[in-house]
Amino acid sequence: GETVRLEDYRPTDFVVHGVEMTVELFEGRAEIETTLSLSRRNGVPADAPLLLDGDELELTSLALDGETLSRSYYEADPSSLRVEGLPASGAFTLSIGTRIVPETNTKLMGLYRSRGVWCTQCEAEGFRRITYFLDRPDVLAPYTVRVEADRAAAPVLLSNGNPVEGGPLDGGRHYALWHDPHPKPSYLFALVAGDLDVLTDSFTTASGRPVDLAIYTEKGLASRAAYAMDAIKRSMRWDEERFGREYDLDVFNVVAISDFNMGAMENKGLNVFNHKYVLLDSDTATDTDYAGVETVIAHEYFHNWTGNRITCRDWFQLCLKEGLTVYRDQRFTADERSATVERIGSVRGLKAHQFPEDQGPLQHPVRPREYKEINNFYTATVYNKGAELCRMIHTILGADGFKKGMDLYFERHDGEAATIEDFVRSFEDATGEDLQQFSLWYNQAGTPTLAVEERFDEGAGRLTLSLVQSLQPGAADTGTEPFHIPVRFGLVGPNGADMEPAAVSGAEVRGDVIHLRKARESVVFEGLGARPAVSILRDFSAPVTLEMRQSEDDALALSRLDPNLFNRWRVLTDLVGRALTAGVAAARRGTDVTFDPKLVEAILASVGDETLEPAFRAQILQLPSESEIGRMVGSDVDPAAVHAARESTRRRIGADGAELFAKLSEAGRPSGAFSPDADSAGRRALANTALDLLTAASGDLTAAERRFRDADNMTDRLAGLSILVNQFAGSAEAGAALDAFFRRFEDDDLVLDKWFALQAGVPDEGTVERVAGLARHPRFNLANPNRARSLFGSFASANPLAFNRADGAGQRLVAEVLLDLDRLNPQVSARIATTFRSWKTLEPRRREKAREALTWLAGRPGLSTDLSDIVERTLR
Ligand code: HT7
Ligand code: ZN
């Protein structure tokens, strides 16, 4: 494949003023007629041809201003259409006929069929699989779309924008006409047709515009969309209240689809979702699923302004819509649920997914400079680190400045395809702040280290903090200049209140934020009556690796007293992390894994503190995953030692906290009918985490079995099952529970995905063979992305012990499956392949096995550009 470079950007030669489409759907084929209103851009030579993108297309007709074009004027192949002799000036129309076969489209990009339903996915470059087009995000036009299909096969016919008219046609067919007045790029085009059920509702915007809301599902499932519908209405209200953004069409439609490459898609007025992020009820979905639906619904809805009304000039600017929209959905979750718990979850996710990406072979800046396959850049770096950059802008400017900047951005760029420079300039112009150094965050890849040292002069009451930032050159090789790092902090006094120094000098400090701009700077705080405990990087105010040799006493004091609850969690997590890495070293030496009793005591004190919310206490109890511990160890990682150290720590905490956990595991659970609200979910999380640790220490499975058997909701049922299956792998009880679960939910694909994923995650070397066996299970289906991810994605990402088994069988199994999957769906195979990204940190034997598996895969003929791009960069 060819490399696309940011520096090569230039506007198109032709401007598209409008798009009119007729899409005729038949069994086995679709016929599409697209009429483009075009004109040559000023200054473009009169003989310049029009070059349109295609992908696996068949051209059936071509006409200029209604007249069939002679063959001598154009050249067409499946991936391009070149037209010569077009008018030198003025407007003209080009009508293009194409034929495609949705039934054989297993890539699930463009127009395909899922369970008989016709649906589209056009981001990033799927529209060119429907018709020839200038398929790039800076080509904006209003669309009018007529959909025709058999009325029985597809009573529901949807596209973007507002419905205009519809009615019967001959031969049992019918049509619907849709018009989207908002100019949009082709990646936001959507069409859905099928025999669907619907849940409807309505919303009135702040200015009084009535909006019809509808969620379409496969037959019989509309009642499971109730929570998603509620989340839509809450998102609409929130965007009005927090960002002043109203909805702008008469209808807002959402469709839930079984076969879908990612989470969801924000097509204008017609969001298409992976059904996993729409369909819920207490019997089949966990609290985590409820939270996921709320987040994804909000995310896609928020794209209506950040992504759709203002879109990206080119795909290098992807974080302009994705980072900002993730930031907005995080703020929404913080407001709807708990700000502290939201922040802990986001930071955990960032460290689990973005940090390893930023520190490994797939490293790239938040705004990449080049790509071979854009599908491979929908990454944690673009999305989650991109969101962190928005959060830092907020931290630097304050809530008021941030709001002024956002308002100016919307005002200036509404209806445009914008760049990161446009975004940053809006904040600069609205506030007068210089964000040029800050902009390095978009262009320099890697996680900087922030080292902080403190010195206290007792006699003078003076505290000196020295801060040093450094950045190692990484795979992307994008420079190591110092960043502008906003470091939020507090000086916590002996009574737990933040102390106010009489004077501050050194690096710039505004309010509770230190603005670190140089490689090394100091801040001096004068007039402190006592030595404070330094609470640094509050709320994780910058995506850095913090190195602070804080005394254990100070850290433990902060875990009890810090007014910033996020940092209470953070100090404990850092201490646990340090203990676990020491434990891994001990396990490798074959010596006992020990754990500081004072640390266990502090953990138990926080977990037992009833003034704190249960979800927060559950977070404190949730140890870092084995992958995360591997990342902390950093090199020469032995996953077996990681597993041993983590298990031994769990048993230790479980034993020391047995009394508390026994109480929390039962009495802490919400009573009465199931409710998915955040507080009830937090109580269940705490109770089930307590049960997990208690069982790890006691080795007695009866309570877990009871939780599984007596559960009246999926959260508790799956918690009980997961304890049985993970801690008692291979036992008769675990086997019986898995069978009972399967029988009960056999007809429910979303629950079966959990059944596959759970077994793929069992930390046991024999899981390799069991996963290979499950791939032959009658309900396994490699062509369904959720199913492929639930078995192989979970195995490779959540089971480092088995995936990296010393004989290489785990990695080899995944490599072989990736090859099969690649022939069906390159986007999904490439995504799962990223689970190899940390192979270079493994101990030598396993590293060699990983290299063999990757090298074998790289050498197979006919790999997609998606997969070969990932495999080659991972090996490099
Ligand atoms: N903007 C969307 C990203 C996307 C996607 C979604 C579904 C299938 C393929 C896709 N390629 C890119 C999702 C989002 O960020 O909201
Ligand atoms: Zn998005």
Residue-wise pLDDT tens digits, 714-745: 999 999 999 999 999 999 999 999 999 999 99
Average pLDDT for 250-273: 99
**359/579 Cα distance (integer angstroms):** 22
Which range marks the domain in which residue 45 is found?
4-195
pLDDT tens, residue by residue, 508-556: 999 999 999 999 999 999 999 999 999 999 999 999 999 998 999 999 9
Residue 563 inside a domain? The answer is no
Do 56 and 117 lie in a common domain? yes
Query: Residue 61 to residues 97, 120, 392: CA-CA distances in angstroms?
Result: 5, 22, 52
The 10 Å Cβ neighbour count of residue 462 is 17
Bridge pairing between strands 141-150 and 14-26:
parallel
Do 541 and 517 lie in a common domain? yes
Do 467 and 435 lie in a common domain? no
pLDDT tens, residue by residue, 752-772: 999 999 999 999 999 999 999
Residue 75 inside a domain? The answer is yes
Identify which of 187, 258, 262 to mutate to test ligand 1's pocket (most ligand atoms within 8 A of the CB): 262
pLDDT tier at 427 (50, 70, 90 boundaries)? very high
Query: Helices marked H in 550-701 — which ranges?
Result: 552-561, 565-589, 597-607, 614-621, 626-633, 639-656, 658-667, 678-698
Q: What is the pLDDT of residue 593?
A: 86
pLDDT tens, residue by residue, 569-612: 999 999 999 999 999 999 999 999 888 999 999 999 999 999 99
Average pLDDT for 772-789: 98
759 torsion bin: left (phi>0), alpha (psi -120 to 50), beta (else): alpha
Q: What is the pLDDT of residue 701?
A: 98
Per-residue tokens: 409: 């951005």
Do 346 and 433 lie in a common domain? yes
Query: Residue 167 to residues 20, 155, 174, 193, 752: CA-CA distances in angstroms?
Result: 19, 11, 6, 15, 40
**665/657 Cα distance (integer angstroms):** 12
Residue 407 inside a domain? The answer is yes
**663/658 Cα distance (integer angstroms):** 9
Do 405 and 435 lie in a common domain? yes
Do 153 and 10 lie in a common domain? yes
Residue 178 inside a domain? The answer is yes
Do 422 and 511 lie in a common domain? no
Residue 332 identity: F
Q: What is the pTM of this model?
A: 0.99
479 torsion bin: left (phi>0), alpha (psi -120 to 50), beta (else): left
Q: List, in order, residues 6 or more apart from 273 with CB less than 8 Å away.
A: 254, 255, 256, 257, 260, 263, 264, 265, 296, 300
Residue 853 inside a domain? The answer is yes
How many domains does the structure of the chain reveal? Answer: 4
**842/590 Cα distance (integer angstroms):** 18
Q: What is the CATH number of the domain that holds 22?
A: 2.60.40.1730
Do 426 and 514 lie in a common domain? no
Q: What is the pLDDT of residue 564?
A: 98
Do 761 and 861 lie in a common domain? yes
pLDDT tens, residue by residue, 55-66: 999 999 999 999
**138/448 Cα distance (integer angstroms):** 33
Boundary-marking domain end, from 195, 218, 244: 195
Boundary-marking domain end, from 136, 166, 195: 195
The rounded Å distance from CA 261 to ligand 1 centre is 8
Instruction: Tell me the three-class secondary structure of 6-64, residue by residue.
Output: HHHCCCCCEEEEEEEEEEEEECCEEEEEEEEEEEECCCCCCCCCEEEECCCCEEEEEEE
Rounded to 10 degrees, the C-alpha dihedral 85/91/95/101 comes to 100
pLDDT tier at 259 (50, 70, 90 boundaries)? very high
CA 857 from chain centre, in angstroms, equals 27
660 torsion bin: left (phi>0), alpha (psi -120 to 50), beta (else): alpha
**483/253 Cα distance (integer angstroms):** 42
**53/520 Cα distance (integer angstroms):** 50
Residue 231 inside a domain? The answer is no
Do 408 and 458 lie in a common domain? no
Of the ligands numbered here, which is closest to the C-alpha atom of 324?
2
Do 864 and 753 lie in a common domain? yes
Boundary-marking domain end, from 147, 168, 195: 195
- The answer to whether the Cα torsion of 526, 532, 534, 535 is positive or negative is negative
Residue 216 identity: Y
The rounded Å distance from CA 501 to ligand 1 centre is 48
CA 787 from chain centre, in angstroms, equals 18
Q: Does residue 46 carry a pLDDT above 80?
A: yes
Do 410 and 474 lie in a common domain? no
Cis peptide before 587 (omega within 30 of 0): no
Return the SS3 of 811: helix
Q: Does residue 827 carry a pLDDT above 80?
A: yes
Q: What is the CATH number of the domain that holds 336?
A: 1.10.390.10
Q: What is the pLDDT of residue 1?
A: 72
Which ligand 1 atom minimizes the distance to the CA of 299? 16
Q: Catalytic site residue 67?
A: no
**278/229 Cα distance (integer angstroms):** 9
- Mean pLDDT over the full length of the chain: 98
Q: What is the ipTM of this complex?
A: 0.97
Average pLDDT for 823-847: 98
Average pLDDT for 40-44: 97
Q: What is the pLDDT of residue 675?
A: 97
Do 751 and 786 meet the contact criterion of CB atoms below 8 Å apart?
no
Per-residue tokens: 698: 């006691």
Average pLDDT for 796-810: 98
Q: Which residues line ligand 1 (CB under 6 A)?
A: 121, 123-124, 261-262, 264-266, 299-300, 303, 322, 378
Q: What is the CATH number of the domain that holds 467?
A: 2.60.40.1840
Residue 495 inside a domain? The answer is yes
> Which residue among 300, 336, 521, 705 is the active-site one?
300
Residue 150 inside a domain? The answer is yes
Residue 150 identity: D
Closest residue (by CA) to atom 13 of ligand 1?
265
Q: What is the CATH number of the domain that holds 821?
A: 1.25.50.10
The rounded Å distance from CA 180 to ligand 2 centre is 21
The rounded Å distance from CA 303 to ligand 2 centre is 7
pLDDT tens, residue by residue, 365-418: 999 999 999 999 999 999 999 999 999 999 999 999 999 999 999 999 999 999
Do 510 and 471 meet the contact criterion of CB atoms below 8 Å apart?
no
